[in-house]
C-alpha cells in the first residue's frame, strides 16, 4: 500500500498536498483499490467556496459511486480535466496524474487536523 509520508490524509481517504496557499486533493491508494476500476470523476463545485467535510464531487467505479469530501475549507480553483478522458488515472497514479482538485484554502489551522501518514496507516490497518 502506497502512503507517501509528505502528504496529509483524511478519515474519508482523501490525500492533501500543500503547495503555498493551494491544497491539491485526490483519493488515496487504499481508496482506489477498495473502489476498483474508476470510470468517472465528477466535480461540479469548481469556483465554489465550500467548508471542510462538504461534498465536492463524486467518483464512480464499476460497482459503486462514492462521495468526495473537501478536507479543507476554501475555494475550488481547479479540476483535473484530464480525468474526464482518463478517469483510470486515479487507479494507476492516485498521487500523481490522478489528482482531482486544487483548493485555495481559507483556514491554514485546519491543516493541523489532518492525519499524518502514520495515523492514516493506523486508520486503515496498514
- Domain of 18: which CATH number? 2.40.50.100
pTM for the structure as a whole: 0.96
* 124 within domain boundaries: no
**CA dihedral sign, ordered 71, 108, 73, 95:** negative
* 126 within domain boundaries: no
* 86 within domain boundaries: yes
Secondary structure element (H or E) that encloses residue 84, with its range: helix 82-85
* 57 within domain boundaries: yes
* 56 within domain boundaries: yes
Question: What would the mean pLDDT of 7-12 be, rounded to a whole number?
Answer: 97
* 122 within domain boundaries: no
Q: Is the pLDDT of residue 1 over 90?
A: no
Say which residue, 14 or 63, is predicted with more confidence: 14
Report residue 104: phi and psi, to 5°: -85, 95
* Domain that residue 12 falls in: 8-108
Question: What pLDDT band is residue 84 in, cutting at 50, 70 and 90?
Answer: very high
Question: What would the mean pLDDT of 21-28 be, rounded to a whole number?
Answer: 98
Total number of domains constituting the chain: 1
Distance CA 83, CA 102 (A): 14
Q: Per the structure block, which three cell numbers stand in for 30?
A: 487504499
pLDDT tens string 97-115: 999 999 999 999 999 999 9
Distance CA 49, CA 107 (A): 12
* 15 within domain boundaries: yes
* 1 within domain boundaries: no
Amino acid at each position: 500500500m502506497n502512503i507517501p509520508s509528505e502528504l496529509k490524509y483524511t478519515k474519508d481517504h482523501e490525500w492533501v498536498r500543500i503547495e503555498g496557499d493551494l491544497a491539491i486533493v485526490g483519493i488515496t491508494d487504499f481508496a482506489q483499490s477498495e473502489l476498483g476500476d474508476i470510470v468517472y470523476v465528477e466535480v461540479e463545485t469548481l469556483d465554489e467556496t465550500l467548508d471542510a467535510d462538504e461534498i465536492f464531487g463524486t467518483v464512480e467505479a464499476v460497482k459503486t459511486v462514492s462521495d468526495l469530501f473537501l478536507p479543507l475549507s476554501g475555494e475550488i480553483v481547479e479540476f483535473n480535466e484530464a480525468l474526464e478522458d482518463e478517469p483510470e488515472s486515479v487507479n494507476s497514479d492516485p498521487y500523481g496524474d490522478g489528482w482531482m482538485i486544487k483548493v485555495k484554502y481559507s483556514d491554514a489551522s485546519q491543516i493541523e487536523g489532518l492525519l499524518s501518514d502514520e495515523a492514516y496507516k493506523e486508520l486503515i490497518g496498514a
